[in-house]
């Protein structure tokens, strides 16, 4: 979340597997992170919901809440081994 909060694409890529690094372009990263950065800079919290085993992927779920008490999001992160293969913010 720190990479998203600061708009740091290079940091964002460091946690991912090769498909993740290829599939999530800077343009896609910017489209998702740009509207979140101002809200995250005012303060945010994450609440862990749990995880699911989906094939070889462990999927982790969090609630993303903001200090402005506005619209919240669900963050879904998939991992295979120690590498992220999916991040989805809805």
pLDDT in tens, 67-89: 999 999 999 999 999 999 999 99
Burial code (b: 16+ CB inside 10 Å, e: under 16) for 37-75 equals eebbeeebeeeeeeeeeeeeeebbebebbbeeeeeebeb
pLDDT digits (tens, 9 = 90+) for 19-61: 999 999 999 999 999 999 999 999 999 999 999 999 999 999 9
Structural domain count of the chain = 1
Domain with 42, as residue range(s), is: 2-89
Q: In this predicted structure, what is the pLDDT of residue 39? A: 97
The CATH number given to whatever domain includes residue 39 is 3.10.450.590
Measured between alpha carbons, how far is 71 from 33 in angstroms, rounded to an integer? Answer: 15
């Amino acid at each position: 979340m720190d990479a998203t909060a600061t708009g740091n694409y290079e940091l964002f890529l460091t946690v991912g597997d090769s498909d993740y690094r290829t599939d999530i372009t800077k343009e896609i990263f910017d489209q998702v992170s740009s509207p979140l950065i101002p809200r995250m800079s005012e303060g945010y919290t994450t609440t862990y919901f749990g995880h699911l085993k989906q094939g070889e992927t462990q999927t982790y779920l969090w609630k993303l809440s903001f200090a402005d008490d506005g619209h919240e999001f669900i963050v879904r992160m998939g991992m295979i081994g120690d590498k992220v293969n999916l991040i989805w913010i809805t």
